[in-house]
Chain A
Amino acid sequence: MNIENAKSQMRKGMLEYCVLLLLEHRPSYASDIIQQLKNAELLVVEGTLYPLLTRLKNDGLLQYEWQESTQGPPRKYYALSKEGEKFLEGLDTAWMELSNTINYLKNVTPKLLESK
């Protein structure tokens, strides 16, 4: 299994959480989100974002409103719904746990092995 594949699997898993994080404090439209995700090297092809946004919206985690744009067509600005905020809290906790677990495994494993 090559490293790129593993990385992309990780990114895919994280994508949902990252999108919700980005929308936590200010509403954004798709291209904004794409730009930020690209900066964070989380997105390889832009198109994957659209099905994700639509799904989150249909699940009631996101809501959007149309805004006119000076340059280009009108934009959909996405924001977290109440439900989305709760969902994000849940993900936050999960992430903390996950991150702790990873750290624990990274630091503790060698000592554990030595003690045996």
Chain B
Amino acid sequence: MKKNITINLCGRLFQIDEDAYELLQQYINSLRSSFGKQEGGDEIVDDIETRIAELFEELRQQGIEAITIEHVKDIITRIGKPEELTGEEAQKTENKGNNWEEQARSAGQKIYENVRERTAGKKLYRNPKDKMLAGVLSGIAVYTNTDPIIWRLLTVLFTLCYGVGLFIYIVLALVIPEAKTPEQLLQMDGKDVTPQNLADVVVENEKQPVQRRSLIGLLVSFLLKIVIGFVVIISTIICFALFIGFLFALIATVCGLVLPLNSTIPFSLSSMGLAGAWIHNPKILGIFVIAFFLVLLIPIYGITHMVLSLTGKIRPMGVAQRIIWIILWVVAVCTAVPLGFTIAEYHNEYIYQTVVPDNTTTYQGIEMSRQDKNFLRKGGWNLIKAENCDHYTYRGYYKGNNNLRFMDVHNENCEEVFQAERKEAVEPGVYRLECAVRTEGPGPCIYAHGDSIKLKSMPVYENQEGRPDMGWVDVSIDNIVVSGDSIAYGVSSVESFTGKTCGAQWFSATDFKLTRTGDLPKKK
């Protein structure tokens, strides 16, 4: 039983089923919208309406009282769909423009209209009706009104280029939703969502499984289900792991901010390697933390959403939403990774300075330049004595590298009194100390302090212009016996220590190297 209404078509009354009426209405509307642009469009549609009235009249004379949807469908195929009718006229009006500029413009217009017409009113979905994997490419084909084989070939081609095609395919498969409901199937094909169309889709879907349930089809769908199940399980695990990671990161961040900077408790900023960044540039640290949390959170959200929508609890995300999340995640990764490296650099600096850097210029009570101070601190040098020195380090003329900084003391009147010493923790044994030195005059020594103090004078620099080694000489002290657990070594120009009067305006030393040459001599 169907609801029936009476319509007035060109001054005549007809009985027509409601669904048939809706279909007819829609047909005439679409004719109007496609003819509306051209000259005399309304007249054409009026004429067609008259024709429909005539055909209805014929039906009435055959004894048909109410017009059904089947009749309307017949009439539509007889008269033709809007695109069949307008296409022809469009071709004819096209040749009017002789001017090539106009032709070029109309060609551009044509391409634009072609694209618009092909995608008009359509929504991009994965096509479940014709799919090889996830239906992405046939969905694109339906959307652009092209043959899926083109897209499939392109994908295979691009997959050969380092798997780019496959990667894009997977991204698209995640981004584009599948057309599941009859409504979505209609939107995919660009058809209007009308009761009639919906009914058609439902009928078609009921037919579908009967046609396509081959053994291979069953096998493939079974495999697909296994794959989907597998993906769900894996995703859940990843999601869980990410969530745990997120919790830890959150706890760590909070603890890190609360705990003192140089504490060794796990979760403090310094134990996590963030103290350097905290001191150097707290802003960078803040941006890094936000980006880092986004990198963790977005996949958690996405995977949870996906799992829930696969199990049918919530609606899947729209295309735009997915794209926004993916872009946001990529941006977060691209922010977090380089910042991570910067922070690691800050941390290294922090570790090597071991203490909070300051801008003062005294080192162990002696006033000096910042470079000197940083060098001595980095090298772990202890100043035993430092009087009358113009500077403590210098740069250049060492092994051809003008940028290497080394220890260098200077006084115009040979009055510098300098002794610097470094301690190293070592195992008992016999050691050898090597280093490179140069001095302007006699006096300065290197020394090693194991069980006893061993001194060695620096050879005096012979002032020969153009010497490639710039006066550097390798010196060493052998047989340093260490029976304790540490050794001290260094340079000295202190007369009371070396027993020699300092007669040098300057002296330099670098590249200290300690090697173990043997065990302790056995006591007899």
- Write the residues of chain A forming the contact surface with B, with a CB cutoff of 8 angstroms: 12, 30-31, 34, 44-48, 50-55, 57-58, 71-73, 75-76
Cβ-based interface call for B48 (8 A):
yes
> Known: A12-B88, A50-B48. Contact between A72 and B80, CB under 8 A?
no
> Known: A53-B47, A58-B39. Contact between A72 and B88, CB under 8 A?
no
Would you call A58 and B40 a contact (CB within 8 A)? yes
Would you call A47 and B39 a contact (CB within 8 A)? no
Would you call B86 and A72 a contact (CB within 8 A)? no
Would you call B10 and A54 a contact (CB within 8 A)? no
User: How many interface contacts (CB-CB < 8 Å) are there between A and B?
Assistant: 70
> Known: A31-B54, A55-B89. Contact between A76 and B80, CB under 8 A?
no
A53→B43 CA distance, assembly (Å): 10
Cβ-based interface call for B323 (8 A):
no
Distance (Å) between the CB of B67 and the closest chain A CB? 15
Contacts of B80 in A (CB 8 A): 44-48
Q: Which of A51, A58, A75 contacts B35 (CB 8 A)?
A: A51
Number of residues from B at the complex interface, CB < 8 A: 28
Cβ-based interface call for B434 (8 A):
no
Would you call A30 and B39 a contact (CB within 8 A)? no
Would you call B85 and A51 a contact (CB within 8 A)? yes
> Can you sample 17 A-B contacts with CB below 8 Å?
A30-B47, A30-B50, A34-B51, A45-B77, A45-B78, A45-B81, A45-B84, A47-B79, A47-B80, A50-B51, A50-B85, A51-B85, A51-B88, A52-B89, A57-B40, A72-B53, A72-B57
Other CB < 8 Å A-B pairs besides A51-B86, A73-B10, 10 of them? Answer: A30-B50, A34-B51, A45-B77, A45-B81, A45-B85, A47-B80, A48-B84, A55-B92, A72-B57, A73-B11
Distance (Å) between the CB of A30 and the closest chain B CB? 6
Q: Could you say which of A51, A52, A54 has the most chain B C-beta atoms within 10 Å of its C-beta?
A: A51
Distance (Å) between the CB of A100 and the closest chain B CB? 25
A46→B12 CA distance, assembly (Å): 22
- Write the residues of chain B forming the contact surface with A, with a CB cutoff of 8 angstroms: 10-12, 35, 38-40, 43-44, 47-48, 50-51, 53-54, 57, 61, 77-81, 84-86, 88-89, 92
Would you call B57 and A46 a contact (CB within 8 A)? no
Closest residue to A15 on the B side, CB-wise?
B88
Distance (Å) between the CB of B91 and the closest chain A CB? 8
> Known: A46-B79, A55-B89. Contact between A72 and B54, CB under 8 A?
yes
Secondary structure call for the A interface: helix
Would you call A51 and B54 a contact (CB within 8 A)? no
A61→B170 CA distance, assembly (Å): 60
Contacts of A53 in B (CB 8 A): 47
Contacts of B86 in A (CB 8 A): 51
> Known: A30-B51, A45-B84. Contact between A51 and B89, CB under 8 A?
yes
Would you call B54 and A54 a contact (CB within 8 A)? no
Closest residue to A31 on the B side, CB-wise?
B54
Closest residue to B89 on the A side, CB-wise?
A51
Contacts of B79 in A (CB 8 A): 45-47
**Interchain residue pairs A-B with the least CB separation, the first 10:** A45-B80, A47-B80, A73-B10, A47-B79, A47-B85, A72-B57, A54-B40, A51-B89, A50-B47, A46-B79
A48→B39 CA distance, assembly (Å): 15
Closest residue to B61 on the A side, CB-wise?
A71
Closest residue to B49 on the A side, CB-wise?
A73
Q: Could you say which of B35, B81, B85 has the most chain A C-beta atoms within 10 Å of its C-beta?
A: B85
Q: Which of A51, A54, A57, A72 contacts B12 (CB 8 A)?
A: A72
Would you call B39 and A51 a contact (CB within 8 A)? no
Contacts of A71 in B (CB 8 A): 57, 61
Would you call B43 and A46 a contact (CB within 8 A)? no
Distance (Å) between the CB of A102 and the closest chain B CB? 23
